[in-house]
Amino acid sequence: MRPMKLAITGLTACSGCQLTLLNCEDELPELLARCELVYFPLAESGNKLEVQFDAAIVEGAVSTPKDLELLFRLRNASKVLVAYGTCALFGGVAAMNNMTCSRHDLLQAVFGAAEKLPESFAPAPLANYVSVDAVVTGCPPEKQEIAELLAALAAGTLPPPRSYPVCTECRSRENLCLLLEKNELCLGPVVQGGCNARCPATGIVCEGCRGPVREANVAQELELLLERGFGRDEIERRMSRFKPEWDYGQRH
């Protein structure tokens, strides 16, 4: 069987998702047996872009002209384009202030009153610019979900999605419910599960790093948090940490 040709790269991101992939030590030998890593600048030199890829796995949000150029090139050269990680899916941490201040102000805050600021626009998900064939959510994604995706791609398919919120796995692990029992600002009910409630299991609220679950009842979650005395600003700030835009009236 011909090994699949892969491109793995990042746009505006911290490279954490790609590092998580490199940390899948147990799976790497099998992965290398099944695929040819043609373009993976984080991990190797001698990368080639001028080929056709079976799949491109792209981390990060789109926020510069260079991001856009790389994204279009990979889209055109790949059968399957994977939005890899929360930034690629929802904008992520880089986009958290999209709704609250202008790009120009943010650039000045970082680079000072320099004469020439870098060219940059509000970070956005890949799907705002190109069609996306598959997604892996998480900041960073779970190793298991990465392995599932790579194995499915190698088998010529895509992994079946999970469509339950963090609460489902959280309750199943017999964690203390931080929202109901401790009145903490937990986003479990509206956030995509699959992390095995990693944070609530250690007593830390769900901060929503995996983005919204399908048909999230956002309006009710907002009500639950308001009832517990959190301010609207505080709630919106928390919810936009990994995804800037939520429809706060959405019930399903």
Partner 1 sequence: MANNFLKTSRLDQFLDALRLFGELHAPTTSESGVHRFSLLDDPADLNLDYRRTQIPPKKYLLPFREEILHCAGDTYREGHCGAVDMVLFGVHSCDLEGIAYLDRVFLADPADPGYSARRASLTLVGVTCHPDDFCFCPEGTVSTACDLFLAASGDGFHLTSHSVRGNAILAAAEHLLEEGVPLQPATSSGLCFPPQDPELRFSDHPLWEKFASTCVSCGACSVCCPTCYCFDVREYPALSGGCTRIREWDNCLFASHGEVAGANFRPERLDRLRYRFLHKYCGFTPLQGISSCVGCGRCKEVCPVDIDLRELTVAPKQVQP
CA proximity to 137, closest of 176, 165, 110: 165
Q: State yes or no: residue 160 binds partner 1 (CB under 8 A).
A: yes
Nearest CA-CA partner of 91 in 197, 199, 239, 195: 239
| SS3 state of residue 138 | coil
Q: Are 32 and 5 in contact (CB under 8 A)?
A: no
Query: Is 54 in a helix, a strand, or coil?
Result: strand
Give the footprint of partner 1 on residues 164-183 (CB under 8 A).
Answer: 164-165, 167-169, 171-172, 174-177, 179-180
Distance in angstroms (rounded) separating the CA atoms of residues 186 and 110: 31
Determine, following the binding rule CB under 8 A, whether residue 189 of this chain makes contact with partner 1.
yes
Residue 180 CB, shortest distance to partner 1, in Å, is 6
HSE of 6, CA atoms in CB hemisphere, 13 A: 23
Q: What angle in degrees, to the nearest 10, is found between the helix axes of 218-227 and 232-239?
A: 130
- Bridge partners (DSSP) of residue 104 are none
Q: What's the min distance (Å) between Cβ of 71 and partner 1? A: 27
Tell me if 248 contacts partner 1 by CB under 8 A: no
Query: Which lies closer to partner 1 via its Cβ, residue 69 or residue 215?
Result: 215
Report the nearest approach of partner 1 to the CB of residue 206 (Å): 11
Site track 63-102 with partner 1 (rule: CB under 8 A), x = hit: ----------------------------------------
Using the contact rule CB under 8 A, the part of the chain among 11-19, 48-56, 72-80, 151-159 near partner 1 is 151-159
3-state percent breakdown (helix, strand, coil) of the chain, nearest 5? 35, 15, 50
* Site residues for partner 1 per CB under 8 A: 27, 30-31, 34, 147-148, 150-152, 154-155, 157, 159-161, 163-165, 167-169, 171-172, 174-177, 179-180, 188-190, 203, 213-215, 217, 220-221, 224, 251-252
